[in-house]
Amino acid sequence: MKKRQFLGSAALAGIAAAATPARAADTKAGPALLTITGAVGKTNRGKLDPVKDQMMHKQKVAFERAYAFDFAAIAALPAVTIKPTLEYDGKPHTLSGPLLLDVVQAAGAKLNDDSKLLLRAVDGYVAGVTMAQARAQRYIVATHLDGATMPLGGLGPLWAIYDADKVPGMAAKPLPERFGACPWALYHIEIV
């Protein structure tokens, strides 16, 4: 990803997030950070508003209903800790957050192994993983890196990631090839 393009998008995301009231059903203390659309069984927000949802609109996201989480609602889900070696410095780091499947199930998603999750980052990068892949690789929605929350403009505040060191097919690959399906600055998941 191009750093300047990402930082510009991240700045717009921060402005949009600050202006958007929290929509998570259980916690209304902060702005919505993650919106799940598609095959969701629960909803707590209406359709995309092309004025208020500028980043989604510009990235051609469209939906009639969705489930949105603020940070507290995501952090309230049971957390898992992983320690993958990251491509950025070649060192193991501790990441923690709920399992990706737990997050989408909290939105009432009815899933099967062929269901696909499109994971979208604030810069528009989209990675697709199947439910079977998310389960087998134990993807998490990381909220913390090395014990600290991750800021917007860095790798966060949310990062869809798995422990590539523990997945035989991925551990054999060079570090830069292990995390292509792990968008950092995650803000949207579409279930198809």
DSSP element (H, E) containing 105 = helix 100-106
In this prediction, residue 153 carries a pLDDT of 94
| Long-range contacts formed by 76-80: CB under 8 A, 24+ apart | 76/26, 76/27, 77/102, 77/103, 77/106, 78/102, 79/143, 80/138, 80/140
- The per-residue pLDDT for range 30-48, each reduced to its tens digit, is 899 999 999 999 999 999 9
Judged by DSSP in three states, 25 sits in coil
CA distance 43 to 62: 15
Give the count of domains, the chain.
Answer: 1
> What is the chain's mean pLDDT, rounded?
88
- The per-residue pLDDT for range 142-161, each reduced to its tens digit, is 999 999 999 999 999 999 99
pTM for this one?
Answer: 0.85
pLDDT of 8 above 80: no
Residue 67 sits in a domain whose CATH number is 3.90.420
Q: Are the C-beta atoms of residues 40 and 25 closer than 8 Å to each other? A: no
CA distance 178 to 170: 6
* CA 150 centroid distance within chain: 12
pLDDT of 6 above 80: no
Q: In what order do the strands lie in the sheet with 95-98?
A: 79-82, 95-98, 144-145, 148-149
Q: Which domain holds residue 10?
A: 3-191
Q: Are the C-beta atoms of residues 40 and 67 closer than 8 Å to each other? A: yes
